[in-house]
Structure formats: C-alpha cells, structure tokens
C-alpha cells in the first residue's frame, strides 16, 4: 500500500462462514482498575461487536484472540482475559467460553466443543514470548485451531506479531468490519479529505508525529499544536519554556515544519497562552500565563483560555478535523480543561471529526462524547503510522479485494 492509495481488502462479507471455525484477532487490550482488576472502559470490546455479531449470525464458530497489557511473555494472573469474556457475554447476551491457553490441547478441546454461533475467547496471546517475535511455530499452532483468519485489531495492525501477521500465512485471511471502517475513515484523510481540513495535535512528543505531519502537509489547511509537544515548537521559535520537557534533538525539526507550513500556505498555530505549574502532583495548582511570560521554574501543563478560543475559531472554519493527542496532562483533572474544552467543541461541529486512538479516544470516551464524533479510531500508534503513509504489517498481509 502506497501513500494515499485506496486499497480495498477482502472482508468477512466476501467469504462463507457458516459452520467454519473463524479465528478473529481482536483488540481487547482494555484498561483495568489497578486495585480491583475491573474493566474501566469497554469501548474496544464494543468496537468489535459488528464483526462478532456478523459471524454469529452467519453460523460460524467464533474463536477470539487478543492480548491484554504487557505480560512480557509470561503468565500474569491479573492479565487473564476471563474478565473480558464476562463483559463480552453480558453485552452479547450469550455465553462466551474461555480457554486457559491460546494454543495446545486445552485450546483445541475448547474449540472442538464450540457449536455454530458459539463464541470462545482464547487466553492472552502475549503470555507466550513467541507472539511478539512473530514465531512461525506459534503462528501455526494458532492456525491449527481454525479454518479462516480475520484481523479486526487495528490497534495492533502496526505490529508484526504472530497473531497479527504470522497466522495469515497459514489460513485464508480477511479483514473484519472494524478494521475496514478504520481504513475507510482514516483513508479519506489521505485520499480526498473535505476541505478545509485541520489536524489538531497534542501529546508529549514531536517525534511521534513528524512523519504524519510531513505526509499530510499538502492535505491540511490548519495544524494546531498543543500538549507537551508545543514546548518543542515554542523553543524552536526562541520562547523561554521554563522547565517544560522538550525533545532537544527535534527543535530543528519543529522549526523546519513551521517553515514548511508557511511555504505551503498551511496555518500552523501554536499556543498563545498556557497553564504552567511547578510540580505534577494531584494537589498542584496551575496559573495561566502568556507564552512570552513562562516562568523559569515552571513547566507547561495545558493550553490556556486564549489558545482554546483561537483553536476553536480555526476549527469552526473546517469541514473536517483529525485529532490526536491531549492538549495537557489529562491525567490530572486540573490540567485537563484544554482537552475537555476542545472535545466539547468538536462534538458540536457540523464537520467530519476523526479522533485518533490512544489517550485522545480515552478522553472522548470518558466524557461520553464518542457518539458525537464521526469516527473514533481504536489505534493510537496505528492511526499515526497509517496517516504517515507507512505500511501496516497487519493490513499488508491481507489480500486485496481485486485479487
């Protein structure tokens, strides 16, 4: 897949699934409460429902596999997927069986017991170190459980792991309905986006978004920069940024992006004012200052009210907005107003609004605004890679519809 090229992949709608054992790679990497282990947000589970329900309705025997957390190739009891199976069963209104492993005799026995329309969730694939190594034998062991492979995990599509890429070499492979929607909605930004188009960018690092900014520069009309990455851009324009964290090796890159935007006629907007604080604690208090008056002993923790108004003014002019990255330290409520204010504003826009995954999607979900956006991606890093024009291994391995 090349940059901006529209590629249509085969999906579950293009194959016969009745009676088949269909292994679906889903992204059930849901946030868990550290103390109770309870699911804090089930958005990723719900996002997979269209594919799961389609397969159930078609009489498939549905085998789901996913990772959860970062167990680093060993069994971690707190990262077992039983809690996810219980939530999925409640949402589906039918039982969801579980297996204590994702390969081997126990998994095979569980699959053998599945009836048409039944659902089984295998154990955390990352309990095996071979998963992240894209080990061929591990991929084959997964493939033995099924007749068809479906990738519906956009959040891991940029990872060349065994359950994402390896298994597709041993089974007929197609896209799930969620993965299809991700490609369609993000693809529009690359192919023929409604104009004017704004990219609202935040988060901590410039380095995470350089490739994406470069790739979409000729497609956007506005680039609005907030979050921690704004400090690097302000440094590039010779502002004093106090104790704000920057990527020193990216200051020159930021300066070049500003210059390139100017040459391309793109309005690249930086904060006019910011919230600063001395310490990052639950009790910390922030103060609003102009970007010309950032104290030496404090750091930027959010965008200020004048910046919010400025950004809203630009967004109001747009027919499409892509947003990735919070505007401040969202984890601390007192430094989350910039993010919340722009989320509330975007929910009112009569425009195409696409939310990049990760913390931005989490923030929108926390506020109950996901339903007011055109599309909320389930992949943070994957959405950035996709918009950067990079090849996503989990998508590349799937056959194109024309073939």
Listed in sequence order, the residues at least 6 apart from 187 whose beta carbon sits closer than 8 Å to its beta carbon are: 6
Residue in 133, 205, 260, 319 annotated catalytic: 205
What tokens appear for 119 in the block? 């659902």
Strand pairing of 352-355 and 375-376? parallel
Spacing of C-alpha 164 from chain mean position: 16
- Tell me whether residue 242 is one of the annotated catalytic residues: no
- Tell me whether residue 117 is one of the annotated catalytic residues: no
How many angstroms separate the Cα of 190 from the Cα of each of 76, 153, 233, 324?
A: 40, 21, 25, 15
Owner of token pair 């159930």: 56
Q: What b/e readout covers 301-323, taking b as 16+ CB neighbours within 10 angstroms?
A: bbbbeebbebbbebbeebebbbb
3-state secondary structure of 312: helix
- Tell me whether residue 100 is one of the annotated catalytic residues: no
- Tell me whether residue 205 is one of the annotated catalytic residues: yes
Residue in 358, 379, 380, 394 annotated catalytic: 358
| Alpha helices, DSSP H, located in 217-294 | 229-236, 251-264
Residue in 133, 381, 389, 390 annotated catalytic: 381
Residue in 25, 44, 126, 299 annotated catalytic: 44
Active site residues: 44, 205, 358, 381
């Amino acid at each position: 897949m090349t940059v901006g090229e529209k590629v249509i992949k085969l999906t579950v709608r293009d194959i016969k699934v009745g009676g088949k054992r269909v292994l679906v790679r889903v992204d059930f990497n849901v946030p868990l409460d550290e103390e109770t282990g309870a699911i804090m947000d089930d958005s990723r589970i719900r996002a997979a429902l269209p594919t799961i329900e389609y397969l159930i309705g078609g009489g498939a025997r549905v085998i789901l596999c996913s990772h959860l957390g970062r167990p680093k190739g060993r069994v971690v009891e707190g990262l077992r997927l039983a809690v996810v199976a219980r939530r999925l069963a409640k949402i589906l209104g039918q039982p969801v069986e579980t297996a204590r492993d994702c390969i081997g005799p126990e998994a095979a026995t569980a699959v053998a017991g599945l009836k048409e329309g039944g659902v089984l969730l295998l154990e955390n694939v990352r309990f095996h170190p071979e998963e992240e190594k894209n080990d061929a034998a591990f991929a084959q062991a997964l493939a033995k459980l099924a007749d068809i492979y479906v990738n519906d995990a956009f959040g891991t599509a940029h990872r060349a792991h065994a359950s994402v890429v390896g298994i597709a070499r041993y089974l007929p492979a197609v896209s799930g309905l969620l993965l299809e929607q991700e490609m369609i909605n993000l693809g529009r930004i690359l192919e023929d986006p409604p104009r004017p188009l704004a990219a609202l960018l935040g988060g901590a690092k410039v380095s995470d978004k350089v490739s994406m900014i470069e790739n979409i520069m000729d497609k956007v009309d506005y680039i609005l920069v907030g979050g921690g990455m704004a400090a690097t851009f302000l440094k590039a324009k010779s502002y004093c940024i106090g104790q704000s964290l920057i990527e020193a090796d990216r200051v020159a890159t930021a300066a070049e992006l500003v210059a390139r935007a100017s040459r391309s006629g793109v309005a690249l907007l930086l904060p006019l004012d910011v919230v600063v604080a001395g310490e990052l604690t639950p009790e910390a208090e922030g103060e609003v200052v102009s970007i010309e008056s950032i104290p030496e002993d404090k750091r930027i923790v959010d965008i200020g009210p004048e910046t919010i108004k400025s950004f809203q003014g630009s967004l109001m002019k747009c027919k499409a907005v892509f947003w990735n990255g919070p505007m401040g330290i969202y984890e601390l409520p007192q430094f989350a107003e910039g993010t919340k204010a722009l989320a509330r504003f975007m929910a009112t826009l009569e425009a195409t609004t696409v939310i990049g995954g990760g913390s931005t999607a989490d923030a929108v979900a926390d506020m109950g605004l996901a339903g007011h956006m055109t599309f909320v991606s389930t992949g943070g890093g994957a959405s950035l890679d996709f918009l950067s024009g990079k090849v996503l291994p989990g998508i590349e391995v799937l056959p194109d519809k024309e073939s």
